């Protein structure tokens, strides 16, 4: 009902039909919801947090923290993915929350060696996350409840994190965190753009024989 009302409002007032859904705390979905959230509302993707811990462990081990959800009567599908580094929650990777409400040390102001060590830890975390899914793209969520009240602090550290990670990887000071990739490109993005990238991953997997309809 909430989704329907929201879509009706956006269509009436702005002429917009959302293509990507983001559910923070649904605490589970039924097959009916899968049908309603695909062909019925026109979603290309649905991202959410919260998952049973046993299911989460199995999906992380099998690299199936994202995939295609087929439960609509017309057999249409919607891409789904877990938020929060595929951990079933949401927020920044451990140790990299730069909000005023977080206790993690900021990157801004660090000496070169200390910054390099933090970036090394960050790329290691990306390697763990990359092994929990298929394809060549991963989403890094960098927010939590009530955050960004002091957005300048967040973005100063995020800018430094992105620039330093790219530079240190490109010049070879930090090694790649997975032998599945020969290059890393980290940048600000949106759920919609990420969805397009994941569908491209799916197409590539099908043409190369490396994936199935269930995986990206």
Which residues are the active-site residues?
A: 25
**Residue 105 burial (CB < 10 Å; 0-12/13-18/19+)?**
middle
* CA dihedral sign of residues 200, 203, 206, 207: negative
- Angle of CA points 101, 105, 109, to nearest 5°: 120
Taking alpha carbons only, the member of 129, 125, 137 closest to residue 216 is 137
Distance CA 17, CA 21 (A): 11
């Amino acid at each position: 009902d909430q989704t329907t009302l929201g879509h009706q409002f956006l269509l009436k007032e702005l002429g917009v039909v959302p293509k990507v859904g983001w559910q923070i705390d649904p605490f589970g979905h039924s097959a009916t919801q899968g049908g309603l959230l695909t062909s019925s509302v026109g979603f290309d993707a649905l991202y959410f947090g919260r998952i049973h811990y046993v299911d989460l462990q199995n999906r992380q081990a099998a690299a199936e923290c994202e995939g295609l959800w087929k439960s609509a009567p017309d057999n249409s599908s919607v891409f789904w993915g877990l938020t929060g580094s595929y951990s079933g929650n949401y927020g920044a990777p451990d140790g990299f929350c730069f909000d005023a409400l977080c206790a993690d040390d900021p990157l801004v102001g660090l000496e070169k060696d200390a910054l390099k060590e933090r970036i090394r830890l960050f790329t290691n975390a990306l390697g763990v996350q990359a092994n929990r899914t298929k394809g060549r793209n991963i989403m890094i969520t960098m927010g939590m409840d009530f955050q960004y009240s002091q957005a300048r602090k967040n973005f100063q550290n995020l800018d430094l994190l992105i620039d330093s990670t790219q530079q240190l990887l490109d010049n070879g000071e930090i090694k790649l965190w997975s032998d599945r990739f020969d290059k890393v490109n980290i940048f600000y993005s949106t759920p919609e753009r990420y969805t397009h990238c994941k569908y491209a991953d799916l197409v590539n997997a099908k043409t190369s024989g490396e994936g199935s309809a269930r995986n990206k």
